[in-house]
Structure 1
Amino acid sequence: MLRDLAEADWPHRAGLKALTAALGAENIRWVGGAVRDGLLGVPVNDVDCATLLMPAEVIARCGKAGIRTVPTGIEHGTVTAILKDGPVEVTTLRRDVATDGRRATIAFASDWPEDAARRDFTINALYAHPETLEIADWFGGLDDLRAGRVRFIGDARQRIAEDHLRILRYYRFQTRFGAALDDVAEDACAELAHTLKGLSRERIAAELLALLALPDPHPTIARMRARGVLGVILPEACAPQVALLEQLIAAERTQGIASDPVRRLAALLPPSPDVAETVAARLRLSKVQRGRLVSAAERSAEDTADPHSLAYRLTTPLAIDRLLLLGGDARRLADWTVPVFPLKGGAIVARGVTAGPDVARLLQTIEARWVAEGFPDADRVNQMLAEELGTSAFRFD
């Protein structure tokens, strides 16, 4: 059952009321994710606004009302209104003139249904009046939302031909909102999966990671592989890796460890640093994401023997990644703070050892003992130093 939109918090934000006063309630409608999520009772962060006004008029009216604007996508009719309770993208009604699967040439429109018709899914084409919150629904989005059905607007193949990324968006939205599969959408995505090759790597990576960040993407990932979609964007993900993803998700849930999309991506790859490097480069992941993916690929069975030592050597997040992927218990690291080695080179020099290689070697030796003994306190470390100085030959000043 859908909620009354008036029960949601976001329509009552002071900033939205100010924006409505500035642009005129007859000229704008809230649209897209905020409306959809508000009806479902899901928390809303970003609010989008569709308007009959041209961008220049939006800027002028906002300026007169003291609302700062940024022309974030003015060539496509989008102006961002900077409000105290969060920015709002205000976009002039549009219609597509030409599309090539990656970008669209648009023209401004003056008809709400025409603007709605160019959107991807029926559940994303719900428009709400800013004052009455009455919902305008031209494509059965409310019924689809009630049924947990993700359905393309109009002809699914045409919608995908307009923007190939809609294939991955379909799978993400279906995972998040779908209770039942739409056969027409499923067949269209599988048939046109090859068109994903024409998309930018960054767009593919963003959608794939967004899908993997959802609570349980495994059934969708398995279906994408079975239908030949996953192989287009991630050919390294074979059946054992998809099974490992399922095990990883179960381990995260059982152990109470927050999920991570890069860790889940690592589960879909064979444990090979070279493969991880290749995938990170292909998807143009950030330096941090690449490092995490490669570290996970370097996992070995020995890593589960001493989780604390592993975390000290790698950092806690990287250690948790490896433990979960190996089927180990990462709970021992959940509230554990990596200790600081209490011995410094100056303390060794103060004991008379000549500064240089001997100091470095002593530090390494004692640190290894300290880790092996489970990170004892400073008194024990000083005792280790005395033992090493008494049994080894060093140059003393």
Structure 2
Amino acid sequence: MILNAPWTDREGFTALIAALGGAEQARVVGGAVRDTLLEIDVADIDVATRLAPETVVTRLEEAGIRAVPTGLAHGTITAVLPSGPVEVTTLRRDVSTDGRHATVAFTDDWREDAARRDFTMNALYADPESGVVFDYFGGLDDLAARRVRFIGDPLKRIAEDHLRILRFFRFLARFGNEPDAQGLAACATRARDLMALSRERIADELLKLLVARDAVRVVALMVERDILSPVLPEIDAEGVIRLSRLADNEAAARVVPQAIRRLAALLPADPAVARDIGARLRLSNIQRKRLESAAVSDDGTDPRAMAYRIGVDPALDRLLLAGRTVAPLDGWTPPRLPLSGGVLVARGLSKGPLVAATLKRIEDRWIGEGFPGDDRLAAITDDAVAQALTDDSSRNA
């Protein structure tokens, strides 16, 4: 197999490979090779090398390439090229693993490095000069069949790194057809191992999975095999039905899937549950607020009024989850009320609660009438100010 890879033309790439000693010492590995073979745009390039990390740093610096020791203990140096960063990692083998972390030793054996990777499709290497692909474990055949398959014994590979359970399903959702039976059985057997992982790592994999090409089918499979129940027992078959409906609504509206919105679909429509899940998964504050907002039951509010009050993205979440049209929000930006409290004070209202209440009354009518222009807003303001002055006089009489 010869790879025709456009990323070889990226500025600085040829100089990087030359600095590392050419194809004898460096090969492109992993996602860049896999995605090029699948004719998918390549975002990141990873290079594997037989050189020791300290030698990599020295050679890059001598070649005038900035070297950042982003993971020196694990052999990773980031080469900063004009076209973007490239991670350069020394070939490794695992010395010990505990399901969360690995102690590694460096090696100069390409096959030994490939053997420690998770799936066969991720253990493909490419000569950066000739494009020849090196495949030690049948990754090319698996890639052609869209088969996600562990390298070696799946039970052992999962014991080494429990996150591989979620990665198996994420890669299945992104690239796969039917699951590898042995790998699926191993994931189901070891599902409780997920409890040993940090919730941040679980959230990262899950959110990536939820926006993958075949997320609905794969999540349904995970629920069927009780993969998620040890860490997210709230997700059940009803949640899968809601996720399927949401995915259909997103596709019909031509709205890009959003991970938090899809997570909300999987959960009961209860802000308290969403709040608990957001905390459990250590989501960011922004993600937690959005998840809670999406869990609020739809009350039929006008789409633009909703978007004005809670934001366009949260409004899209609620509308899509409820199966309502999002067309009114297409290309629409919520306006700002072109009125300040100072204007009301200048018209005779007392500063403080009266101004705030009147401003809110004006805003509510303005929203309710569909954000009319200046003439109508002026009339709404006149009415509200007159009413406020009358009410204020009555209270002070």
In the other structure, the counterpart of 1:283 is 281
**Native 8 Å contact 1:343 1:378 kept in 2:** no
The 5 A counterparts of 1:1-397 are: 5-6=3-4, 8-25=5-22, 26-300=24-298, 302=299, 304-392=300-388, 393=390
Q: Cα–Cα, structure 1 residues 359 and 125, in superposed 2: closer, same or farther, change >3 Å?
A: same
Task: In structure 2, list runs of 5 or more residues that go unmatched.
Answer: none
**Native 8 Å contact 2:202 2:281 kept in 1:** yes
The whole-number CA distance in structure 1 between the counterparts of 2:84 and 2:155 is 36
1:217 Cα deviation after fit: 0.3
**Native 8 Å contact 1:353 1:394 kept in 2:** no
Given residue 324 of structure 1, which amino acid in structure 2 is its aligned partner? Answer: L
Secondary structure class of the residue paired with 1:87: strand
Secondary structure class of the residue paired with 1:106: strand
1:187 Cα deviation after fit: 0.4
**Native 8 Å contact 1:93 1:115 kept in 2:** yes
Deviations 1:309-367 (A, max 9, x none): 11111111111100111111112212111011122111111212222222111101111
Given residue 169 of structure 1, which amino acid in structure 2 is its aligned partner? Answer: R
1:215 Cα deviation after fit: 2.9
**Native 8 Å contact 2:95 2:103 kept in 1:** yes
For structure 1, which segment, 352-361 or 71-80, has the greater mean C-alpha deviation from structure 2 after superposition?
Answer: 352-361
1:11 Cα deviation after fit: 2.0
Secondary structure class of the residue paired with 1:195: helix
Could you say what the CA RMSD is over the residues aligned between the two structures, in angstroms?
A: 1.3
1:261 Cα deviation after fit: 0.3
For structure 1, which segment, 39-48 or 344-353, has the greater mean C-alpha deviation from structure 2 after superposition?
Answer: 344-353
Secondary structure class of the residue paired with 2:96: strand
1:133 Cα deviation after fit: 1.2
Given residue 261 of structure 1, which amino acid in structure 2 is its aligned partner? Answer: A
The whole-number CA distance in structure 2 between the counterparts of 1:171 and 1:306 is 38
Identical amino acids, percent of aligned pairs = 53
Deviations 1:178-222 (A, max 9, x none): 122210111011011110100111100000000002133011001
The whole-number CA distance in structure 2 between the counterparts of 1:388 and 1:49 is 67
Given residue 92 of structure 1, which amino acid in structure 2 is its aligned partner? Answer: T
Task: In structure 1, list runs of 5 or more residues that go unmatched.
Answer: none
After TM superposition, which residue ranges in structure 1, 4 or more long, deviate above 6 angstroms? none
The whole-number CA distance in structure 2 between the counterparts of 1:338 and 1:108 is 56
**Native 8 Å contact 2:34 2:121 kept in 1:** yes
The whole-number CA distance in structure 1 between the counterparts of 2:328 and 2:134 is 52
**Native 8 Å contact 1:216 1:249 kept in 2:** no
The whole-number CA distance in structure 1 between the counterparts of 2:158 and 2:228 is 16
**Native 8 Å contact 2:35 2:41 kept in 1:** yes
For structure 1, which segment, 186-195 or 377-386, has the greater mean C-alpha deviation from structure 2 after superposition?
Answer: 377-386
Secondary structure class of the residue paired with 1:46: coil
The whole-number CA distance in structure 2 between the counterparts of 1:174 and 1:389 is 62
Given residue 276 of structure 2, which amino acid in structure 1 is its aligned partner? Answer: T
1:394 Cα deviation after fit: 5.3
The whole-number CA distance in structure 2 between the counterparts of 1:142 and 1:198 is 33
1:225 Cα deviation after fit: 0.5
Paired residues, number: 391
The whole-number CA distance in structure 2 between the counterparts of 1:385 and 1:145 is 66
The whole-number CA distance in structure 1 between the counterparts of 2:221 and 2:166 is 12
**Native 8 Å contact 2:344 2:385 kept in 1:** no
Secondary structure class of the residue paired with 2:78: strand
Secondary structure class of the residue paired with 2:230: helix
TM-score (norm. length: structure 1): 0.96
**Native 8 Å contact 1:67 1:83 kept in 2:** yes
